[in-house]
């Protein structure tokens, strides 16, 4: 007898129902007409079975910092610099207990929406020290049965301004951080192209010395035009090739790529692909370009062009109900639908790809091992109330069952319109 059996599920195209068997946290059987007895049996009722959703870029330590009863901004803003100042001011009031409570609530929401792995950006700098990290380390341990958390040391105040900063980062990794962060746009000393490059080099050198991966906030702005040599992702890709760091970089945002001309964009995408760099698109189309008076630009990277070139592209929530974005539910089907609108992805194949982007592609970006729906894979999976990937996205399907390492951690059901009307 195995621990768990899921019957009547579909894997991809919705045409063939399968049985999936799980034992000791691993998939031990998947196929039609399999005979397994399970200590627990779930009926998928024709629902789509997908690997667990992977949230590949999310600022967990500042999530849910806004008023939950009246979400939204107190007033509109014009430039992202205003949001940076607001975050600097508000985070001074955070206590470790506050961070732990909010992060715990955020992971519960993530788990409810089928996220089984999450890469958390975490503030580490001279102002807050290791307080945010210590809080997230505690939450990661307490919530390990729900969500696997990777922690990125995020340099919200830069890497070049404070003499003790690099020692602080070394201590952060000694305590248990996983990934080196990089954010030249927030570094007060990363002025001009050379300053930006020095910031990237500093982050890369520390990542290599510690043998960890590098997660970049890169090319966040929307310049009127940009040359190949001005793109941070291109410089980082070239450096990865020079020092033998191929396949270990992830770049979030990459909005400035959309400001490049076709020839520059094509050359940049080739460099990104050659370096094995993953790109994470965030739903920033509402945040950037606010001062444009005509031809309002969107804060999205060239998602379709990157995918066509073979680059591994995912998308993520980025900010959830904090100073930067007062929206979000840690629901990757919701974020995927936003991206479908913004990136003009509406064919069946493109909608199917969007589901792959927040599962398989995101797992590849995080270099997860044993991820998937084949024999021996870790049993992190979701049963959706939809027969196909495109239906899951368009219908915003409910996550009927969420399973983490073979354990059922969330059960949801959609309340139909008929049910609501009958209750009135």
Sequential DSSP letters for 50-88: EEPEEEEEE-GGGTT-S-SSS-S-SS--S-HHHHHHHHH
At 292 the pLDDT is 83
Mean pLDDT confidence for 181-194: 93
CATH superfamily of 53-365: Metal-dependent hydrolases (3.20.20.140)
Task: Report the C-alpha gap between 12 and 33 in whole angstroms.
Answer: 17
Q: Which helix (H) or strand (E) holds 103?
A: helix 96-112
Coil, strand, or helix at residue 133?
helix
Mean pLDDT confidence for 280-302: 85
pLDDT at residue 35 tops 80: yes
CATH superfamily of 2-51+372-423: Urease, subunit C, domain 1 (2.30.40.10)
At 421 the pLDDT is 42
At 13 the pLDDT is 64
pTM value surpassing 0.85:
yes
Burial classification of residue 81, based on how many CB atoms lie within 10 Å of its CB (0-12 exposed, 13-18 middle, 19 or more buried) = exposed
At 420 the pLDDT is 41
Cβ(91)–Cβ(66) under 8 Å?
no
Phi, psi of 24 (to 5 degrees): 55, 40
Task: Tell me the pLDDT tens digit for each residue of 97-133.
Answer: 999 999 999 999 999 999 999 999 999 999 999 999 9
At 423 the pLDDT is 42
At 57 the pLDDT is 98
Cβ(289)–Cβ(297) under 8 Å?
yes
Q: What are the extents of the domains in the chain?
A: 2-51+372-423, 53-365
Query: Which residue is it, tokens 């992702």?
Result: 233
Phi, psi of 396 (to 5 degrees): 50, 60
At 122 the pLDDT is 98
| DSSP type of residue 194 | H
């Amino acid at each position: 007898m195995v621990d768990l059996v899921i019957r009547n599920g579909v894997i991809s195209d919705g045409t063939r129902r399968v049985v999936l068997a799980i034992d000791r946290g691993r998939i031990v059987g998947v196929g039609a007409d399999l005979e397994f007895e399970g200590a627990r049996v779930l009926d998928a009722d024709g629902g789509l079975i997908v690997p667990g959703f992977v949230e590949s870029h999310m600022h967990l330590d500042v999530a849910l910092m806004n008023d939950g009863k009246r979400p939204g901004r107190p007033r509109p803003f014009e430039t992202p610099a205003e949001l940076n100042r607001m975050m600097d001011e508000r985070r001074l009031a955070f206590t470790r207990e506050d961070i732990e409570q909010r992060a715990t609530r955020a992971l519960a929401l993530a788990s409810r929406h089928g996220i089984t792995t999450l890469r958390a950006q975490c503030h580490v700098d001279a102002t807050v020290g290791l307080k945010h990290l210590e809080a997230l380390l505690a939450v990661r341990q307490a919530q390990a049965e729900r969500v696997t958390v990777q922690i990125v040391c995020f340099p919200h105040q830069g890497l070049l301004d404070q003499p003790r900063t690099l020692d602080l980062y070394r201590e952060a990794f000694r305590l248990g951080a996983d990934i080196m962060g990089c954010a030249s746009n927030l570094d007060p000393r990363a002025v001009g192209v050379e300053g930006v490059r020095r910031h990237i080099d500093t982050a890369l050198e520390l990542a290599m010395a510690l043998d960890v991966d590098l997660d970049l906030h890169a090319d966040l702005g929307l310049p009127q035009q940009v040359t190949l040599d001005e793109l941070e992702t291109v410089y980082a890709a070239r450096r990865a090739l020079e020092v033998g760091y191929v396949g270990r970089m992830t770049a979030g945002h990459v909005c400035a790529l959309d400001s490049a001309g076709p020839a520059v964009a094509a050359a940049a995408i080739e460099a990104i692909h050659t370096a094995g760099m993953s790109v994470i698109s965030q739903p920033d189309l509402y945040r950037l370009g606010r001062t444009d008076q005509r031809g309002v630009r969107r804060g999205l990277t060239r998602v379709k062009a990157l995918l066509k070139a073979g680059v591994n592209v995912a998308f993520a929530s980025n900010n959830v109900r904090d100073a930067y974005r007062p929206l979000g539910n840690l629901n990757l089907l919701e974020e995927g639908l936003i991206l479908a609108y913004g990136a003009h992805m509406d064919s069946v194949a493109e909608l199917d790809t969007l589901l792959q982007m927040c599962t398989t592609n995101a797992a590849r970006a995080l270099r997860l091992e044993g991820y998937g729906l084949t024999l021996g894979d870790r049993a992190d999976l979701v049963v959706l109330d939809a027969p196909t990937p495109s239906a899951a996205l368009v219908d915003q399907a409910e996550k009927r069952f969420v399973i983490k390492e073979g354990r059922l951690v969330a059960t949801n059901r959609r309340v139909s319109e008929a049910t609501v009307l009958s209750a009135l």
